[in-house]
Structure 1
Amino acid sequence: MMRPVRQLYPMSRIGCVLFGLLLSAVAGYAQDLGSLGKQKPFAISGALNVTVDGYNNVQGRERLDPLAWTISGSPTLSIYGISLPIYVLINNQSRSLTGPYQQFGMSPTYKWIRVHAGYRNLSFSPYTLAGRLFLGGGIELTPGKLRLAAMYGQFEKAQPADSLRFVLADVPPPAPRFQRTGYAVKVGYGTANSFIDLIYFRAKDNVGSIRFPANTRIAPDENAVVGLSSQLTFLKHFTWSANLGISAYTRDIRRSENTDVLDQAPWLRTFIVPRTGTQVGYAGESSLSYSSTLLTMQLQVRQISAEYQSMGAYFFNNDLREITVSPSLVLLDGKVQVSGSYGYQQDNVSNLRPTTTTRQIGSANVTVQPNQVFSMLMSYSNYGTSQRGTERIIDTLKIQQVNQSVIIAPRLFFNGEAVQHTLSAFVSYQNANDVNTVSQVRTDFNNILANLNYAYTRPKERLSLTPGLSAIRNFVPGYNTQSFGATVIASKGFDKGKLNTSLSGNYYQNFYEGAANGYTLRTRLSGRYRPAGTHEFSLSVASTINQDKVVQSRNFTELFGQVGYGLSF
């Protein structure tokens, strides 16, 4: 195998680092003109960690390397108040170096003017420009109640279909793509609590950016989006918000013009040339919320058509409709808090599929804390999925499921001057019920998890002891397993916290179809010593023994060890 090309030219990589740091330093003068005199010209901080791992397989298949080492560092350079984090990782298998010189950007601000340069991500609204990373520039102006913004940049860098450097490196090349550039403009009026914004976004692939596309399915696209974003706060406790978007997306701009595709929205011809591959999509959401000291309530409605896309956003769950109600209530001077939500979701809102799937999601949470000694959390959730169609659905393919979850977690805490006692429990029940008689043998599932833990703590002596019991039962058609076990964790600090040690162990007895099926035993001894504020030494030794009477390949005994050193500067 040939050595990757990136290792054949180390000076080019070093040059990129030096150039990036120089660019960062120059840009730092424009970040905060008012406070440059108070900043240090140059400073460095961060951490360096070195670890050596040892592994010994006593029984069973060997899973790890007998010896492994890792050197990692996260230095942060500061040039006139501009932080430049860098991460370095070197181990026995790989090397990596990342830093701000690869995707550097800045956003200096002066009064009501903010300028963006380099790699930036801006959000004008959820359905237009919504946080997509770009390389370019932008500006935001907020004089008084005016809200003006604009940006232009590259959203995708051209990737040739057959790159020689990947062939020489003997690694799979990335998928080819066209260079994609775009711009967005926002015009609005209002404040942070009440405003209305109009947004226009446009992006297009450069046909000439790829000379020989190897994959004929790769085609240059084009997109134009018109959006509205608004929010209104009224009567002190009420807030109404809305976000709308209309998108015209053309797949393959090399196709011939076709004005008929925009019959539903002919005004979009002002923004984009309609072609045979142009599709129009709609997206919108609106919410009304009420908020007070004791009660919070929100109603949200969202609908996105199947054709909706925006090159200014990464991803949309489209072709769906959602309705969600989320209440929250505070009772008895905050001693009881009740919250919940109910949602209805439906796909196929564009009626392009033969079937429609609906989901109903409900949840309720109750937190009770009458005093400092007792508290309890109770939670319930229910998720239902069903399917219907205009034609008869074959019974063996029909989807109809109900998933339920219940959690109860009480806690007792006794706080003394010298000793603290904590008794906590956790019980969880999960159920997946498939109504389809054909698929339920593979998807029906019931799980019960229960934990009981006690913690004995002496804070002044830095001593704690935590024993616990646990049980797990899984019920699956034709395959039932159970595990019952005990855990104990002990920790002790010495020399005013400079040395901290811990010892833990847990044992699980496993059962299969009601019969004993082996056990799992884990132990671990570890210690950390910090002689000074900048140095730290660590040592840990662990073992795992697993015995399985049914599957012999699961029988193994392993020993682990790790030595580490850390430096903070």
Structure 2
Amino acid sequence: MKTWKPAGWCGVGGALLGLSALLAAPAAAQDIATLDQQKPVTLSGTLDVRGIFYQAQGIEARRKPFSYVLAGSPTLSIYGIAVPVSFVLSEQDRRFRQPFNQFGLSPTYKWVTVHAGYRNLTFSPFTLAGHTVLGGGVELNPGKLRFASMVGRFSRATSVDPVSGSLMPFSFSRKGYAGKLGFGTEKSFIDLSLVRARDDSSSVSRETRQLAETTGAANNRVLPAANLVLGLSGRLTIKKDWLLEADGGLSFFTRDVGSSLAVEEALPKALRQPLSKLIAVNGSTEAYTAWQAAAGYQHNGNGLKVRYRRVSPGFQSMGAYYFQDDVQNLTLVPTLTLWQQKLRLTGSVGIQQDNLREQKQLTSRRLIGSLNASAEFTERLGLDVSYTNYTTDQQPGAVQVADTFRLTQTQQSLSVAPRYTYAGETWGHTVLLSADRAILRDQSPDELGKLGEFTSYNAFLSYQLTWVPRRFSVGATYNYTQLKLATGDDGNHGLQLNADQAFGQDGQVRLGVRGSLLRSLRADQPSRLVGGGLRAAWRVSRHHTFRTDVVFTGHYPTGDETTQNRRYSETSGEIGYAFTL
């Protein structure tokens, strides 16, 4: 059974709120059996104070001459469960954030896990799939039995801003439950799951609905809905090398629980009667399907996997935030390892298509392909290569349209990155080279589409030398960037240098200097970019660190100055202090 990952916590009333405020688990469930091995209370984090100076010449100042920032990120841990807090205070910004102000906890004892508060749950890809729910649940794993259930609020009601009337379209409070029953382990299992949820029409007042209509916040009428999703998932591992897995979902969605329209022929009569006992069934009720399947072989780094996915138009589940619907794709994913695992090749090739019911004017078909190669020639020398190709072609669907509206595009990218690393007792060398090219071509006859075409080139060559006994390093990097557009060329190229020196027995003091000189081209207008910086840091002790940083940037046109290509310079400095718990 997949582990339920809590999204955060929120009090669910009374003593639970008080307990949750202390036991704020940001990750996996807390094992009660190990509480005696955890420290009762610990406090960690940082407090940071910065003063920032700024000056500009030749252009309008982009920030104030002086600003300050007081920031902190303390974390309180009680028996291994953390409650992180962060805050920022400046003349422009004052805010306090407790990212886990949605509280919850999941204590575990042996094969029993209890969930309370805000939990992020996953039962299957098409039923309850990563949705955060406020409520309670239980998970039982005695042997190969896979049981889980939960009940609670899927989303809270929201209302229109009474002042502006444009905050957001209102939404109802949504409540429901979900369950899963299965047998097996993560290698081989079969699971049945379901989600049943319904909007509470009484959670939004009549005044709010009227306000939404009068202010135009509800351009599309918001109606209370209901949903029932049934899911079946399974996986079969054969002799550790062969894998078969499949997931399916059947969703019944009623878009207006108060509709008086008859069902008519939308659903078979034999299905309407049992279904009406679980959700409101009327003329707005529709059925949707989604399923995916995969088969693969993997052995010693070599393998092949075939995946197929089909999601019908309109498919949705109240137990998931988003689905890409009206799409089907078939993908092959090969993996190859050679030369005693020194060369690894992975890739994928597939076909994707929409307009499954032929109701759209155009059908989009995409050819998707990628290849990744990683080679370790020696312990020091390696190479990474990546290639992707995406081709989209739209064909007329149920309604014939002119070729002018058709879209045919090809996107390609190629990246090559060799690397060399040597780490000795006295000297260390690192050489990195990266080059990539990306293109977009519009194959349609429409000349307007040609304006969106581009070709980009990016490359850098970096060398870093480290003198290990002296804690000294120096490096140089050459950058090259070019973007070719129909409206002109942009880009820059040049050299960047950096050096860093640590002083003291444990490197308590560090000094760094950097500089750069680039030639720039913007809309066919050339210029030079000059930059430099000086950084210093002094770690007085484990708790106290002082630092300062000064940066200069200059922009100098090599031709005639224009409004868009002006001569200017900027200087900024920062003095800071950090306290670490």
* Structures share fold, TM-score greater than 0.5: yes
1:243 aligns with 2:252: no
1:8 aligns to what? none
Q: Which residue of 2 aligns with 1:215?
A: 212
Question: Which residue in the other structure is 2:507 paired with?
Answer: 497
> What is the match of residue 186 of structure 2?
192
Specify which of 243, 248, 262 is matched with residue 267 of structure 2: 262
Write the distance in 2 (CA, Å) between the matches of 1:159 and 1:452: 52
Query: What does residue 380 of structure 1 align with?
Result: 387
Contact 2:30 2:107 (8 Å CA) reproduced = yes
Q: Indicate if the aligned counterparts of 2:472 and 2:501 stay in contact, CA closer than 8 A.
A: yes
Q: 1:440 to 1:547 in 2, by over 3 A?
A: farther
Report the RMSD for the aligned CA atoms in angstroms: 2.5
Moved more, 346-355 or 196-205: 346-355
Matches within 5 A, 1:129-208: 129-163=128-162, 167=163, 173-208=167-202
The aligned runs of 1:159-558 (5 Å cut-off) are 159-163=158-162, 167=163, 173-212=167-206, 213=209, 214-216=211-213, 217-260=221-264, 261-263=266-268, 266=272, 268-390=275-397, 391-437=399-445, 438-495=447-504, 496-511=506-521, 517-548=526-557, 549=560, 551-555=562-566, 556-558=568-570
In structure 2, what is the Cα distance between the partners aligned to 1:80 and 1:471? 52
Retained in 1: the 8 A contact 2:70–2:88?
Answer: yes
Does the C-alpha gap of structure 1 residues 79 and 454 become closer, same or farther in structure 2, counting only changes over 3 Å? closer
What per-residue deviation string (whole Å, max 9, x for no partner) do you get for residues 54-84 of structure 1?
2111221221222222222121222333322
Contact 1:545 1:558 in 2 (8 A): yes
Shift of 1:32: 4.4
Q: Is the 8 A contact 1:517 1:550 kept in 2?
A: no
Please list the CA deviations of residues 127-177 of structure 1 after superposition, one character each: whole Å capped at 9, or x if unmatched.
Answer: 1001111110011111221111110011111223355xxx4xx89644422
CA offset digits 1:92-124 (Å, max 9, x no partner)? 222222336721100011111110000111100
SS in 2 for 1:34: helix
State the alpha-carbon separation in 2 of the partners of residues 292 and 125 from structure 1.
Answer: 27
* Stretch deviating more after TM superposition (133-142 or 172-181): 172-181
Distance in 2 between residues matched to 1:277 and 1:435, nearest whole Å: 42
1:568 aligns with 2:580: yes
1:550: how far off?
6.4
Deviation track 1:3-27 (CA, whole Å, cap 9, x = no partner) reads xxxxxxxxxxxxx9x9966543489
Q: Is the 8 A contact 1:20 1:102 kept in 2?
A: no
Q: Could you tell me whether the CA contact under 8 Å between 1:425 and 1:453 is conserved in 2?
A: yes
Contact 1:257 1:274 in 2 (8 A): no
Residue identity matched to 2:97: T
List runs of 5+ in structure 2 lacking aligned partners: 1-12, 214-220
Q: Contact (CA 8 Å) 1:238, 1:290: kept in 2 or not?
A: yes
Q: Is the 8 A contact 1:287 1:299 kept in 2?
A: yes
Distance 2:94 2:431 in 1: 46
For 2:575 and 2:91, locate their aligned partners in 1 and report how far apart those are by CA, in whole Å.
15
Question: What is the TM-score of this pair, normalised by structure 1?
Answer: 0.90
Q: Please identify, of 43-52 and 380-389, the stretch whose mean Cα deviation from structure 2 is larger.
A: 43-52
Distance 1:457 1:533 in 2: 25
In the alignment, the residues of structure 2 paired with residue 473 and residue 80 of structure 1 have an alpha-carbon distance, to the nearest angstrom, of: 54
Distance 1:510 1:27, change over 3 A: closer
In structure 1, what is the Cα distance between the partners aligned to 2:153 and 2:564?
53
SS of 2:469 mapped into structure 1: helix
What TM-score, normalized by structure 2, do the two folds share? 0.89
For residues 572 and 165 of structure 2, the distance between their equivalents in structure 1, rounded to whole angstroms, comes to 33
Matched residue type, 2:578: G
Shift of 1:334: 1.6
State the AA in 2 paired with 1:500.
Answer: R
In the other structure, the counterpart of 2:218 is: none
Task: List runs of 5+ in structure 1 lacking aligned partners.
Answer: 1-15
2:263 maps to amino acid: T
1:7 aligns with none
* Amino acid across the alignment from 1:49: D
State the percentage of identical aligned residues.
33
Letter of the 2:389 partner, please give it: N
